[in-house]
């Protein structure tokens, strides 16, 4: 199976070369999605000739970067997309674990979980992020019959053909609140594997009103509420864009 590792990037000038170098030491097909960086990240990426690159002329959001990665994979013949962040909070050493699960062919989504198995080297997450994750994960499990332990981890492997069925459109950080209901309604097979919990910068922010934890939770729940009222037939007839 052909696997693409997709890395959304936004203003990561200090870490992007280092992160991509480590990823490439494990796997050769890597796509960076530069989401309108303004700090010199774009110049760093343009100097590389060992990756695929998508550039947004303006910041379009984390979810949009993932959607573009899925479409790129579909149009270039990749069977799977493994997504990971560029802020050094996803450990490239876990890439072989995902590749083994992909080869086992038991799931359509292989989601990293920072809470599935306790680890001595885990960092402590900011309390608001952990509490919101716990609330949303419980709501998703109760509403959709899922068995997730970490609904917000971006370290995931996605079967490309399965993603093309979902007609995903949520462009921001609320992407998981559209992703999980549509995956459940489509009957996709979901598994989790443990990954390390890393928080190098507990002060890292979302931007704008999402930095307010109460507002962020309401925003996520509003997206989920809208998804739960949709009929699967409204979006499961998707074709490749």
Residue 131: pLDDT over 60: yes
Average pLDDT over residues 13-29: 96
Q: What percent of the chain has pLDDT over 70?
A: 90
Enter the pTM of the model.
Answer: 0.91
First-to-last alpha carbon distance for the chain, in angstroms, is 22
pLDDT digits (tens, 9 = 90+) for 60-81: 999 999 999 999 999 999 999 9
pLDDT digits (tens, 9 = 90+) for 161-199: 999 999 999 999 999 999 999 999 999 999 999 999 886
What's the pLDDT score for residue 239? 46
Contact 173, 160 (CB under 8 A): no
Q: Where are the domains of the chain?
A: 3-234
Contact 132, 214 (CB under 8 A): no
Average pLDDT over residues 83-89: 92
Looking at domain 3-234, its CATH architecture is Alpha-Beta Complex (3.90)
> Would you place residue 238 in the very low, low, confident or very high pLDDT band (cuts 50, 70, 90)?
low
Average pLDDT over residues 207-212: 79
> Would you place residue 232 in the very low, low, confident or very high pLDDT band (cuts 50, 70, 90)?
confident
What's the pLDDT score for residue 120? 67
Contact 101, 191 (CB under 8 A): yes
Q: Which residue has the tokens 């890395």?
A: 7
What's the pLDDT score for residue 100? 98
Q: Which residues pair with 31 in a beta bridge?
A: 6, 52
């Amino acid at each position: 199976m052909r696997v693409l590792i997709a890395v959304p990037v936004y203003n990561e000038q200090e870490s992007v070369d280092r992160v991509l170098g480590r990823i490439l030491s494990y796997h050769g097909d890597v796509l960076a999605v530069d989401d309108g960086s303004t700090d010199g990240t774009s110049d760093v990426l343009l100097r590389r000739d060992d990756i695929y690159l998508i550039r947004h002329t303006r910041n379009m959001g984390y979810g949009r970067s993932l959607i573009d990665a899925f479409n790129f994979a579909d149009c270039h013949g990749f069977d799977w997309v493994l997504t990971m962040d560029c802020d050094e909070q996803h450990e490239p050493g876990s890439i072989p674990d995902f590749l083994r699960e992909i080869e086992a062919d038991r799931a359509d989504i292989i989601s990293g979980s920072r809470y599935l198995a306790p680890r001595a080297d885990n960092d402590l997450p900011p309390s608001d992020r952990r509490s919101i994750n716990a609330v949303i994960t419980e709501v998703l499990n109760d509403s959709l019959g899922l068995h997730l332990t970490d609904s917000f981890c971006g370290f995931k492997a996605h079967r490309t053909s399965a993603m093309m069925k979902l007609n995903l459109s949520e462009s921001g950080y609320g992407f998981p609140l559209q992703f999980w209901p549509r995956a459940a309604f489509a009957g996709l097979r979901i598994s989790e594997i443990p990954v390390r919990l890393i928080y190098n910068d507990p002060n890292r922010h979302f931007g704008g009103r999402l930095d307010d934890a109460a507002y962020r939770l309401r925003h996520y729940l509003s997206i989920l509420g809208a998804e739960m009222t949709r009929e699967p037939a409204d979006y499961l007839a998707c074709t490749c864009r």
